[in-house]
Amino acid sequence: MATRGHSEGITMSGGGLYSVATIGAKHVIDAATPMVLEAIAGLSLESIADGFTLSDMGTADAGTSLTMVGSAIDAVRTRAPQVPISIVYSDQPRNDFNALIANVYGLGPCETYLGQNDGVYPLVSGTTFYQQILPDGTLDVGFSATAMHWLSCKVCNIPNHVQAVGAEGAALEKFRAQAARDWRQILLHRAAELKPGGKLVLINFGYDEQGRYLGNTGGVNMFDRFDQIWRSFLERDRITRAEYENMTLPQYYNTREEFSAPLINPDEAVYQAGLRLDHIETRIVKCPFAEAFAEHGDAAGFAEAYIPTIRSWNESIFFNALSDQRSVEQRQQIIEDYYATYRDMVRDSPAGHGMDYVHAYMVISKITG
């Protein structure tokens, strides 16, 4: 049985901290920007004559994609100087949209594209990518990075780990099946939104051909370390067995084959809806904090910089795994102690720690006929 909805209790760091803490996510988007520009170059002038729409799905506070969006606007203006341009930012309703607006409008720490071109209209939606965000046939380019590994629900608790990369047996099969359903649901909604000839550029966490995934590219396995520390809290009676198991990340990392399946099989509903896989490849973007440590050698500085990027996307899940019978203060103290333990572990033995990003980079088209 599903235990928690996609949007319930799961939030990225607010107050503009997400983009500040996750510079690696920006590096991923920067690496994907040429794909976005190529997608724009491939659109027919007829299709964008009345206006161009780009969606940024699962955008968090929008800071990591501002440079990419600015480049996309320039590319559209080069081809069609006068057309109105809509940038649709979407995320779950609990997202910090105040931080998003601050970043887009130049009120935060990020440099914005606004003011550099006339006729650009940022729009904000609290509709997730598990629903249709835009009207049928209105989207030119849909973009998402580092977001669609979040499942629409947590199908079960994993009894022996905190993430599906460590799951076994029935729990793993439930996560795999849910991920397959979710991926198809996401694609079917995008098929409805896209204009004929429109493109999707989707950059999703996954396994590469060597079996590597986020935080597991050699050295310390990040998710195993999450579990090791959380399990030590159980063993010391800081948390209960139920709280240990509740800390199950509602995530799944697809393989290249799992991403491709609904886009290449004519019997699949996604294929029949007109979506085609133009390109897929896996890439690794190195952890910027580990790379910086290799240069400066300051283990304490590395630990202080590295832990916030982890907290930015999983703290709310750890917090909500704790019983609501505990006071908020008690729950928060457990969370602070958890991350302090991790920080000290990195500081005392920094070798091998890091969060290298492993993504599948995909370009998907909607056929015109």
- Give 34-60 pLDDT, tens digit per residue: 999 999 999 999 999 999 999 999 999
In this structure, are residues 265 and 200 in contact, taking their beta carbons and an 8 Å threshold?
A: no
Per-residue model confidence as pLDDT tens digits over 239-259: 999 999 999 999 999 999 999
pLDDT digits (tens, 9 = 90+) for 312-347: 889 999 999 999 999 999 999 999 999 999 999 999
In the structure, what pLDDT confidence band is assigned to residue 361 with cuts at 50, 70 and 90?
Answer: very high
Three-class secondary structure of residue 140 per DSSP: strand
293's enclosing H/E stretch is: helix 288-296
3-state secondary structure of 106: coil
Structural domains in the chain, CATH included, are 17-211+249-286+356-366 (3.40.50.150)
Residue 369 pLDDT greater than 90, yes or no: no
- Per-residue pLDDT tens over the stretch 158-178: 999 999 999 999 999 999 999
**pLDDT interval class at 6 (50, 70, 90):** very low
Q: Are strands 357-366 and 139-145 parallel, antiparallel or unpaired?
A: unpaired
CB-count burial class (<10 Å; 0-12, 13-18, 19+) for 27: middle
